[in-house]
Amino acid sequence: MGREEEEEEEEGGKGLVSKKAEKKEAVKAEKAMRRRQHEGGSFAHASRSSEADPLAEKYGEMPLSYAQSKEVTGWRWTEVESLVEELKGEEVLIRGWVQTIRAVGKNTAFLVLRSLGYTVQCVVAVAPELVSRQMVKFAAGLNKESVVDVQGVVTVPFLPIKSTTQEVEVQVRKIFCISKAVPNLPFNIEDAARSEKEIKEAKLAGETLVSVGQDIRLNNRVLDLRTPANLRISDIKSQISIVRDYDFGLTIHRAFAIIAISWSFPTKAFHFDWIEMLVLFLSSEGFVMIHTPKIIASSSEGGSTVFEVNYLGQRACLAQSPQLHTQMTICAGLRRVFESGAVCRAEDSYTRRHLCQFAGLDVEMEIKEHYFEYLRKTLKLTFQEGVQMLKEAGIEVDPLGDLNTESERKLGQLVLEKFSSTIVVKLVPDFVLLDLGEEIISGGQRIHDPDFLTARAEASGIDVKKISAYIDAFRYGAPPHGGFGAGLERLVMLFCALNNIRKTSLYPRDPRRLVP
């Protein structure tokens, strides 16, 4: 997931074409984009007045580098649904989509922030040494559906607020735009959130309310999924799926849980109910099970490892990964999602660890500050450190390319000899989890800036027009996010110390095998 593996065939098949040139172009595009982002200083305050503001560091549009995963700061984040009267007088830090904006003169602006269907009113009011007029102007000029971070104090208004789910307000002290939405959205979330009953009752009363048709909803599904009703439908579907999977005891859930827990507990702990443990863990961490399309319009990862199919007269592909749709689902407002299902890749390379179809587990989640924390000490190497270790061992590798199978195995041996560790996380900057040199998990933080994403896609030779729906999802406000993918068969192969991945598949599919 997230990268194409380059390796020579191990059993006489045809080797994959090198993509070093594409990777170099991608690196150049990334560096150019970063230079453009940092021109003019750390902040891009497009909405500010030219007048100097002593409170300028309390608001503005943040560069993409701000959203990069970093060390834990100790900030205490509060979810919108947790904003209650008991927090009165406390300072909170929240993130959400700007649903509505209302300016009252030059000194006050009201913003409604939404997250996971919950809403809260934020008040930006001029106050000496706290909030300036320029800050109010910046807040009032935000585009709807932009993603913002707000730091402020919780207050309880004298009159109850009827337009939000939360009955408190947040007196804003700092506000930063993390992802700017386009000014003209296909439709307003408030309009899409209205029920047919509301529209009919309004019509009978002689009023006219905007109704969003089904076609425009489905053509802009990411926005449509942000409505409270659709978010609840996703929850219900997830719960039904989890119950179904638990009742039937799907092998993939059991296998992933066994392997994951075995890394943390002694072997004798195998009497635990692994399915229940996995489901309880994901549920307790706020993950929602989703089911994404397996027939898509174009390649989901680029390159030639894609199966083309005839979709009722249209050219289509079998999904190489659900990543595009898991990312879009994060953009739609679900904070954490996961999916387990078939993954198809036209791997024209006959090796011991590759299949053309395998069972995959993919996880995607919003990132506030950092990827994750380990429950125990895990060795982490930068890609450059790994390259240096190989170089010292007499193996030359491309510092801008991926490691092939032989190099990964050699690195695993070197790590074992030097650090006495069989598990290593390789930071490239995406993370790749290796076990004795075999890749078992790969992923990292995604690009959530549409312009940067477009530049990277073009540099990788991807037809941007074919993934326009995916890129457009990031134009409507997208939170920083990341994820990873793992293949069940490879995990089982390593867990059972088998010498070939085909031994872990019931009916393996590889370049030479289509039956039985």
How many alpha carbons fall within 13 Å on the CB side of residue 368?
18
Angle (CA) 383-384-390 rounded to 5° is 90
The CB density around residue 342, as the number of other CB atoms within 10 Å, is 12
Of 192, 24, 22, 23, nearest in space to 99 by CA:
192
Characterize the bridge pairing of strands 91-104 and 118-125: unpaired
Find how far residue 342's CA is from the centre of its chain. 20
493 three-class SS: helix
- Tell me the backbone φ, ψ of residue 113, rounded to 5 degrees: -100, 140
Is residue 218 exposed (0-12), middle (13-18) or buried (19+ Cβ within 10 Å)? exposed
Asked if 224 contacts 217 with a C-beta cutoff of 8 angstroms, the reply is yes
Characterize the bridge pairing of strands 91-104 and 59-61: unpaired
Asked if 471 contacts 515 with a C-beta cutoff of 8 angstroms, the reply is no
Of 305, 343, 340, nearest in space to 321 by CA:
343
Tokens for 113, please give them. 């922030």
Distance (Å) of CA 45 to CA 63, 133, 154: 10, 14, 26
Asked if 328 contacts 472 with a C-beta cutoff of 8 angstroms, the reply is no
Give 225-290 as a DSSP string.
TTSHHHHHHHHHHHHHHHHHHHHHT-HHHHHHHHHHHHTTS-GGGGGS-HHHHHHHHHHHTT-EE-
The set of residues, in sequence order, having a beta carbon less than 8 Å from that of 363 and lying 6+ positions away, is 287, 326, 336, 337, 338, 443, 483, 484, 485
Long-range contacts of 507-516 (CB under 8 A, 24+ apart): 508/355, 509/355, 509/356, 509/357, 510/347, 510/350, 510/354, 510/355, 510/356, 511/13, 511/347, 511/348, 511/349, 511/350, 511/356, 512/350
Which residue numbers are catalytic?
345, 347, 353-354, 439, 442, 490
The DSSP element (H or E) to which 330 belongs, if any, is helix 323-331
Asked if 355 contacts 506 with a C-beta cutoff of 8 angstroms, the reply is no
CA atoms of 226 and 81, how far apart (whole Å)? 15
- Tell me the backbone φ, ψ of residue 78, rounded to 5 degrees: -120, 130
